[in-house]
Structure 1
């Protein structure tokens, strides 16, 4: 997928959502109704950098805002910060964003490489339910400050309620990115090669990873949930071909963690 096609996809998502939401009603009509705000935190053990093979404990926020749909929705820890502009219980679309921590490259395996600044990604998402036990979601985001590339994530999750309060879920993951994203996280120019000892590497665009993830979610109370999750992904294409991964890291990336979130319901 080229950068132009990924940007076009993101633009389509962003334009489609408000247009659909505003069809037949004004802005005030769309704002009125029942809304929800979900906030929480995730603690996880994951590689210390993309493509790394040393694992560290870290934390990430959970934030989701949208209009309450007619049916209960499935959510995943892979979902980034979301603002739903369309939500009818079967199809949901809107804006999404992701905060990116910086990479200071103080670790021995990263010394000599240019640091990656903290920043984020912003774009759009679209999800739907092909059956009553599966959700398919896509996100297309453009980098802000950390990188100037485009990233597209795709996930499908099947879910099953073991009890009214306990749900198991899981499914495949796939991610693509443009050259500017890969250059920020996996590229090694001539100066970096001389300073770090890594082979020079100039990535292009392409497939970033394929993987699979699963979770067990417990509804502690009606608005509060807790989750145990695990994921495995295999770096592909420009990421797997990077000298950083080949010479000092690993294409096999594992993650395990726990999360808790609380949902606030309100009306406008």
Structure 2
């Protein structure tokens, strides 16, 4: 069962941020000093049981994010993965990004007999800029660790508008790409797996993973409290859509809808 898509940034901040940041400050101690924020919360959503599944589950997942305060982020999306900006010029942000991947068990009837996908992560970088005051473009590229050995790239464009000082609506298109090693982990079916599961063998290449659209309504209840209602649709393409797992047991159409609430704590070290 798929669980947390947005997870603790603490380990990522330690792994990603300290070495590079220390070069720009007076050692690690100098970089640690200053203003920080810790955001905690939860998301409840209805989403596919696994990538390509036609079965939907209701799940509740925690949200934990730790970062160093700097220029205020003009826009953020639930699709943004853990990130640490190394360059922040307001209209342009570039930095490091990471994602935690939970284990995919094979206890779901549709994929029973397939090898489970181990838990792991993805590390890489992000680039985002604002061509207009109300439009953000963001790209991430990440290398898989443990769960898969492939490369994943995500591109998202979001238009946003503040209906009131506390309510914002946003949305836009998304597209995702992946290498053959990623598709092999999540969509490939070996001869042994085929014999155990009854799903046809499939050896994928690389290419487009999915295209879709997402949107959200965000309500800033107070300075530290934010709530959101979101919905997304994606259509699996390329090696994902052609996978025998999707064709024989799943669906190319993937929907997600949910609500979230977070609370931000500000502190100084």
Both proteins in one fold, TM over 0.5: yes
Aligned to 1:191: 192
Partner in structure 1 of residue 170 of structure 2? 169
Does structure 2 retain, via aligned residues, the 8 Å contact 1:65–1:84? no
After TM superposition, where is structure 1 displaced by more than 4 Å over at least 4 residues in a row? 25-33
- Residue 177 of structure 1 deviates from its aligned partner by 0.6
- Which SS does the other structure have where 2:80 is aligned? coil
Give the match for residue 157 of structure 1.
Answer: 158
* Structure 2: runs of 5 or more not aligned: 1-15
Question: C-alpha distance in 1, partners of 2:117/2:145?
Answer: 12
Shift of residue 18 of structure 1?
A: 4.5
Query: TM-score, structure 2 length as denominator?
Result: 0.86
Name 1:244's counterpart in structure 2.
Answer: 245
1:61-100 matched pairs, under 5 angstroms: 61-100=62-101
Secondary structure of 2:40's counterpart equals strand
Aligned counterpart, 2:11: none
**Alignment RMSD, CA only?**
2.2
> Aligned equivalents of 1:93 and 1:38: distance in 2?
21
Structure 2 residue aligned with 1:126: 127
Q: 1:1-268 residue pairs with structure 2 within 5 A?
A: 18=20, 26-27=26-27, 33-268=34-269
**TM-score, with structure 1 as normaliser:** 0.86
Of 29-38 and 54-63, the range deviating more from structure 2: 29-38
Task: Please list every run of 5 or more consecutive structure 1 residues that lacks an aligned counterpart in the other structure.
Answer: 1-13
Helix, strand or coil: the match of 1:96? Answer: strand
CA deviation after TM superposition for structure 1 residue 197, in Å: 1.1
CA shift in 2, pair 1:91/1:40, >3 Å: farther
Deviation at residue 72 of structure 1 after TM alignment: 4.6
Deviation at 1:263, TM superposition (A): 1.9
